[in-house]
Chain A
Amino acid sequence: METVKIYTYTIIRVATEEFSDKVPYCTGIVEFPSGKREAALIHGYEDGMNVNIGQEVYFLGQLENGLLRVSFTK
């Protein structure tokens, strides 16, 4: 399975209206092996989890609407 590296991240605790029922969650920028970077919500975050820049996470492909799907777990 393809992996991408966390270039930077944050844990959102106060969200926009659309995301307010999902807090806390991890969003950030991931770097593909090609060096290309994209914004991504990194699914599977649980509060207190250790997240680090450079950490590898899973790229699960794109949703129908084109959104990237990135996750801490497979």
Chain B
Amino acid sequence: MRSVSIIGIGETKFGKYPEKSLRDLINEAGEEAIKDANIEKERIQALYLGNFAGQQLARQGFMSALASETLGLGDIPHVRTEGACCSGSLALRMAQMAVGCGAYDVVLVGGVEKMTHQPTGIVTDAIASAMDSINEVPYGSTFPGQFAQIANRYFYEYRNVKKEMAMVAVNAHKNGALNPDAQMQKEISLDKVLDAAMIADPLSLYDCSLVTDGAVFIVVAATEIATKISKKRVIDIIGSGHAGNTISLFTKDPITSFTATKEAARQAYDMAGLSPKDIDFAEVHDCFTITQIINTEDLGFFEAGHGADAVIDGIINLEGKKPINASGGLKAKGHPIGATGLSQVYEVVQQLRGDAGMRQLKKADIGLTHNLGGSAGVCVVNILEGR
């Protein structure tokens, strides 16, 4: 496989945009990425488009064709990738493999979701479609319910980390307030997080990620071509991993650590020839605050059962030794499901280019993205390095 790089990024602001159509979101982020890559559209040979619940939330399937038409990409092949909350990262993974094996030289990757115009019940239903519809959904669980069950089991196997989960939320909002594209632009107090209404015990409102409208696009090219085209710092995908697992939660053992994350991370670290200590910063899948704590353990940053200690010690803060979710994460930047994995990549590229403004990290040479789908049924991990 030849080396693959990222040469262009574009995203909409994340938030509630009732006046913007799917086409508007796609157009805004897609055109920005193509312009950022300094390429003519004719150079794009394929489109990979991540979208999770277009049919249920926006009455729109076949999102890859919608995006291709909107961006005027002509007759190039396009495909939609769907892997629940990991849909966007799957698009990048497919693109990276296609370019890596030489099928294409320049490829556009995108992700989009429009969610906020629907009432909570419809959104909860749509997200619940990523659970087992026969063996789980009829027992009344929801996605917060799945991760609440994981949290309760984690409390039982290790210790109660409710306060540290709240600190994860506080940190996410603090970072999001420094990100002009983030849905949440305000800091939040620890007391407010701890006093919030329960959604699924022990997860309360601020333990949960956001319902978001947004789109992100990325231009990927073979490194040998990227270095000739790009006028910005070329970002190499030096590690990439993709692993799957079961759809349901009750079939997993354990449920306090995710096999898909561990395997995807192993692949990415092996490809990069790096270990967890070599990663300067990471965007990890904080669909719920407990998930972030578990992810940082599964990625090898902290020992199992000790992810919460790192939160107390400030290690995950912007000024800490291992900053996590400088963008604000799914919790504060937002979670437009099909675009989320690419939103993580967008942040890492901004950090590696030195373009992250108020939240720019001091040491940002090697960054990692971690995107999880469903009840940890699929995971993609990328390791990115500035050239």
Contact = CB atoms under 8 A, between A and B. Distances in A.
A67 B138 contact: yes
A38 B145 contact: no
B152 to A, nearest CB: 5
Interface residues of B, number: 36
- What's the dominant secondary structure at chain A's contact region? strand
B201 A11 contact: yes
A25 B135 CA distance: 18
A11 B156 contact: no
A29 B121 contact: no
Nearest to B208: A14
Given A8-B149, A10-B201, A27-B140, A39 B135 contact: yes
Interface string A35-74: 0011111000000000001100000000000011000000
B250 A29 contact: yes
A13 B136 CA distance: 17
Contacts of A27: 139-141, 145, 149
A35 B138 CA distance: 22
B135 A14 contact: no
Given A10-B149, A14-B200, A16-B121, A38 B144 contact: no
Contacts, number: 91
Contact of B139 (A37, A41, A53, A54): A41
Contact of A39 (B120, B201, B249): B249
Given A37-B250, A39-B248, A14 B140 contact: no
Given A8-B149, A13-B197, A68-B139, 14 more contacts: A10-B141, A10-B200, A11-B200, A14-B200, A15-B140, A15-B142, A16-B124, A16-B128, A29-B249, A29-B250, A39-B136, A39-B250, A53-B153, A54-B156
Interface of B: 120-122, 124-125, 128, 132, 135-142, 144-145, 148-150, 152-153, 156, 197-203, 248-251, 253, 255
Interface of A: 7-20, 22, 25, 27-29, 37-41, 53-54, 67-68
6 contacts: A8-B149, A13-B197, A19-B140, A25-B140, A27-B149, A67-B138
